[in-house]
Copies of this chain bind each other. A is one copy, B any other.
Amino acid sequence: MQIGYLLFPDLTQLDLTGPLQVLSRLPGATSHIVAKRAEPVRSDCGLSLLPTTTFEACPELDLIIVPGGLGVADAIRDPSTVAFVRRCAAKARYVTSICTGAFLLGAAGLLRGKRATTHWAYHGLLPLVGAIPVGARVVRDGPVITGAGVTAGIDFALSVAAEVSNDDIARGIQLSIEYDPAPPYDAGSPGRAGAVLTRRLESFYESRLSSFREALAVVQGA
């Protein structure tokens, strides 16, 4: 099982590192961290990650995982990144994204008519790539599996682990990473966080939504 993780500048690192921690424990799985060039790539939080391979050198993948983040807007505008996603997807058994990585799948034309999820603040943009928004943490539509915002990548990856192996292996991985979550607050979704906090974050995300809209318009106009 060849699993590829797309690495691009200004990704949200946990979108990639969460699923990687889970799926690297899958027996028989090989992880490829794939970037345009064989150089460290800066993430959103001061940490740079090192690719293990490049778009050119990457072997055929069974599963591709596209993380999200602020950098998705630039990645969408980069023809070689979009072409790489499209090329992998054509051969892969599973084509997946976490958070706003969904829009990179979308820019590659892979979400047309598909039920999909993304970070809660960006759900309204899913129809721009022809996707049908579903308000769930993990959504599967045939070979396309999408996860909601950031931490949803862990739930996503455990589901994928079960899908490609079995329940017992997925449960073993869950126990090994002691995934028995106990958030100190109940504020992880708009419905739970309440209107005031949600509105505060929505106004923070406004400019990001605009940059995503612009990037998608450029690609779709092309």
Which residue numbers of A lie inside 8 Å of B, CB to CB? 12-14, 17-18, 20-21, 24-25, 31, 33, 40, 44-50, 52, 99, 119-120, 137-138, 148-152, 154-155, 158-159, 162, 167-168, 170-172, 174-185, 187-190, 192-193, 197-198, 200-201, 204
Q: List 27 A-B contacts (CB under 8 A).
A: A21-B150, A24-B45, A31-B46, A40-B40, A40-B50, A47-B50, A47-B52, A48-B50, A99-B178, A120-B178, A154-B183, A155-B182, A155-B184, A168-B197, A171-B197, A172-B197, A172-B200, A172-B201, A175-B187, A175-B189, A175-B201, A176-B201, A178-B188, A179-B183, A179-B188, A180-B188, A181-B181
Residue in B13, B24, B138, B150 whose CB lies within 8 Å of A179: B150
Q: Is the CB of A167 within 8 A of B185?
A: yes
Q: What 10 A-B pairs come out closest when comparing CB atoms?
A: A149-B178, A180-B188, A24-B45, A181-B181, A14-B21, A171-B187, A48-B50, A150-B177, A17-B17, A179-B188
